[in-house]
Amino acid sequence: MTQTGPMNATIRSTLVPHLRESGIQLDVADLHDLPHAMTFDQTLDLALEASEAVRTGADGVIVTQGLDALEGAAYLLDLVWPHEEPLVLTGTGPDESANLRTASLVAASPAARGLGVLVVLDDEIHGARALSSAGGTGTASFGSPRSGPVGLVADDQVHVVTAPSRPGPLPLARCAPARVGLHTLGGDDDAPGRLLALAENLDGLVLVGAGANRLPPALAASLDALADRIPVVLATDPELSPEPWSAPGPGLIGARGLHPARARTLLRLLLSTGAQRAAIAEAFRSEQLHRRGPVAFIDSHQQSSGPRATDAAHTGIAEGRTDNDD
């Protein structure tokens, strides 16, 4: 266990002994101790480190993350997480110690296997893709308004009641950095050449409009020209219009209801792995199908005692193994 920084000192003195009593061994390593949110590349590096921890025997991974970037980090990690073992995120703040303890129990639980990336806050377990923030400053501002929590932790027992539907993971290998812009369409964007100039140094672009198929003819022509150069995704602002782009036009890709910020994350990841236009369109279609797909209901009232858990502190990773593991 690597011990660097006050977060690890807290874990070592309080959380680790408590979990050992439950048969869970926690190994802790700091990956990033930053005064700001992790960058896109740092988040993918974290996914690689977490994946390596699982390959070397950990039964789960926990990552602590500032609340301001929790939703975005969880979504990106869920896009690429390939393992049955859970990757569990929890937030820093006043309830950090309690959230870490609960997240450790979830990461060590067989009931959490196969659920992808999970977010544990205030004893609730959320799927990464379902999580959203109401814009507050504390953990209570987070929830899963569409589907509800995946489960909860009560009396140190992990209860999973639904399994989120999620597409297969995208590759973690990166071919080259991808520059993807996010632009909200305005009244002057139909000016000749404006959008082409905007996207001159970009590899892809997400455009946010007010609603489905409401493009002025001049703007539609500009978008067609732009789409000949780079992938262009059309998204809607969920606060202005619940109606997604369904058929945005030849060469254009509809975000299909995906939040604009998540659409940018998905497009950037796809471009960084060398995906072409057809594969990009299919990835957005798959995201829509799984957001609307069925939810499996699971009976998980019985939990085995002593799985191996991996915990991460301050965006660090802790590999956990049961006491009876060799």
- Residue ranges with strand state E in the chain: 61-65, 87-91, 117-121, 124-127, 132-133, 142-143, 151-154, 157-160, 162-163, 180-184, 204-209, 232-236, 253-254, 296-297
Residue 1 inside a domain? The answer is no
Q: Looking at the structure, do residues 218 and 128 belong to the same domain, yes or no?
A: no
Tokens of 84: 């049955």
The CATH number of whichever domain residue 125 belongs to comes to 3.40.50.1170
What is the reported pLDDT for 309?
54
Q: Looking at the structure, do residues 255 and 143 belong to the same domain, yes or no?
A: no
Residue 46 inside a domain? The answer is yes
**What is the rounded CA–CA span in Å between residue 52 and residue 312?**
13
| pLDDT tens figures, 295-310 | 444 444 434 334 455 4
Q: State the Cα torsion 108-110-116-118 to the nearest 10°.
A: -50
Q: Looking at the structure, do residues 122 and 187 belong to the same domain, yes or no?
A: no
DSSP 84: S
Q: Looking at the structure, do residues 30 and 133 belong to the same domain, yes or no?
A: yes
Number of Cβ within 10 Å of residue 51's Cβ equals 18
| pLDDT tens figures, 21-41 | 777 777 777 666 665 678 899
Q: Looking at the structure, do residues 158 and 186 belong to the same domain, yes or no?
A: no
What is this structure's pTM? 0.84
| pLDDT tens figures, 205-238 | 999 876 555 666 777 778 888 899 999 998 887 7
What is the reported pLDDT for 303?
40
Q: Looking at the structure, do residues 62 and 100 belong to the same domain, yes or no?
A: yes
Residue 153 inside a domain? The answer is yes
With b for 16 or more beta-carbon neighbours within 10 A and e for fewer, the 290-299 pattern comes to ebeeebeebe
Tokens of 145: 């308004």
Domain containing 265: what range?
180-292
Provide the domain count of the chain: 2
What is the reported pLDDT for 211?
57
CB 312 within 8 Å of CB 30: no
